[in-house]
Amino acid sequence: MSSAKPPSCDDTVLAVIYTGIQESCFASASDAEALAQDISDLETRIWKHCRERYLGIFPMVGPAAPQFAKFGKFHLATDTCHVIAKNYLELIRPYNGTTHVLIVGTAAAATALEAKKHGLHTCIFQPATRGLDSVEELTTAGVVIADADPALNSFLDAALARRAGVHPYIPECFCDAIMDKAGLPPAWCAYKRNNFLWRTTMRLRRAISAVTAEGFDGVWPPYKEKDPALRYKGRWRCTQAEKEELGEAMDQASGAGIHIGDAMTIYTYTPSFEQVNWHTFWLLKQEVETLRAQLAAVNTK
């Protein structure tokens, strides 16, 4: 399938379209929260499979339910957010080089059929949709219905295959060869720069989520509303590995110029894990065994 423009390092081949996430589309806050969690699971699947940067398209006709605000904030932070009222399917291909779209939300079927009409490779991730009753018309139109990882991964691989045409040796690309031939120092092209920003922000977001997922022992936020100086005691129920990953993600984000204020506040309330000195541990163990032997000798007298 030919593209509206030649592939370039500015392209964002993959897009996720968040359809029907307005407050009016949900009977209750719990319904919206359940769908938001399913979309978060899709993020995790993309991250684990390929970590490919993607557009976040929000064809909004009204305010989104607050449960979905985190997705908009993430895409705004990584310059991948598009809030478009109409004709967005006509625009993403010529302006962003987008050829593959993943569709989630409560209006997936109609959006998928429209995307196919615009010549886009289209996939509905079924676990992150609602109201998708009949899929016969969709499959007949060529829409991929992914209900598990193999089908989703196959679709993502197809998007990566097009990207590989621009960057034959990911993460390197032809820009390096051009710079070298011109006698210029190595420099990141738009693709590598944008993907680094996206992955760094996503890593920080995932690290925060891992630390906070098990809850907080105490009151959060950990201060009294009228007097922030009076702190409550409490700690996140995270593991040492989760704390260390958050610390490393913060260091990477800070070095990239990404604001980490909220992450720092969360990190402050992680538990203090004792570092084990294995030499000292071994000496103490030997000492305990010696004392046990002496005690046994006394008991036999």
List the domain range (segments joined by +) for residue 20.
Answer: 14-166
Residue 86 resides in a domain: yes
Whether pLDDT at 261 is above 90: no
| Residue 85: pLDDT band with limits 50, 70, 90 | low
Cβ contacts of 171 within 8 Å, gap of 6 or more: 192, 195
16-45 per-residue burial string, b: 16 or more CB within 10 A, e: under 16: bbbbbbbeebbeeeeebeebbebbbebbeb
Give whole-number Cα distances, 28 to 65, 162, 178, 199, 240, in Å.
10, 40, 55, 33, 36
| Residue 90: pLDDT band with limits 50, 70, 90 | confident
Asked whether residue 220 falls in the same domain as residue 147, the answer is no
Least reliable range by pLDDT among 81-95, 173-187, 221-235? 173-187
Alpha helices in the chain (DSSP H): 29-49, 69-77, 88-96, 108-117, 136-140, 149-166, 174-181, 190-212, 240-255, 261-268, 278-300
Asked whether residue 100 falls in the same domain as residue 224, the answer is no
Whether pLDDT at 195 is above 50: yes
Backbone angles phi, psi at 81, to 5 degrees: -100, 130
| Residue 168: pLDDT band with limits 50, 70, 90 | very low
Report how far apart the first and last C-alpha atoms of the chain are (Å, whole number): 91
Least reliable range by pLDDT among 83-92, 110-119, 277-286, 288-297? 277-286
- Tell me, what's the pLDDT at 293? 77
Least reliable range by pLDDT among 103-107, 255-259, 272-276? 272-276
Residue 173 resides in a domain: no
Residue 99 resides in a domain: yes
How far apart are alpha carbons 279 and 285 in whole angstroms?
A: 10
The amino acid at residue 243 is: K
Asked whether residue 247 falls in the same domain as residue 161, the answer is no
Asked whether residue 22 falls in the same domain as residue 142, the answer is yes
Give whole-number Cα distances, 201 to 13, 114, 204, in Å.
19, 31, 5
Backbone angles phi, psi at 205, to 5 degrees: -65, -40
Asked whether residue 31 falls in the same domain as residue 138, the answer is yes
Residue 282 resides in a domain: no
Residue 70 resides in a domain: yes
| Residue 2: pLDDT band with limits 50, 70, 90 | very low
Residue 276 resides in a domain: no
Whether pLDDT at 227 is above 80: no
Asked whether residue 157 falls in the same domain as residue 229, the answer is no
Asked whether residue 68 falls in the same domain as residue 112, the answer is yes
Whether pLDDT at 201 is above 80: yes
Whether pLDDT at 72 is above 60: yes
- Tell me, what's the pLDDT at 150? 93
Asked whether residue 23 falls in the same domain as residue 157, the answer is yes
Count of domains for the chain: 2
Whether pLDDT at 101 is above 80: yes
Asked whether residue 18 falls in the same domain as residue 160, the answer is yes
- Here the CATH number for the domain that contains residue 26 is 3.40.50.850
Asked whether residue 158 falls in the same domain as residue 197, the answer is no
Query: Domain end: 166, 183, 213, which one?
Result: 166
Asked whether residue 195 falls in the same domain as residue 161, the answer is no
How far apart are alpha carbons 277 and 275 in whole angstroms?
A: 6
DSSP 127: E
Asked whether residue 208 falls in the same domain as residue 154, the answer is no
Burial class of 92 by CB neighbour count within 10 A (0 to 12, 13 to 18, 19+): buried
Q: What is the pLDDT of residues 37-57, one digit of tens each?
A: 999 999 999 999 988 899 999
Which two three-digit tokens encode residue 92?
Answer: 């993403």
Residue 301 resides in a domain: no
Residue 1 resides in a domain: no
- Tell me, what's the pLDDT at 238? 94
Average pLDDT value for residue range 59-79: 89
Give whole-number Cα distances, 226 to 223, 229, 230, 231, 268, in Å.
9, 9, 9, 11, 21
CA 213: distance to chain centroid?
15
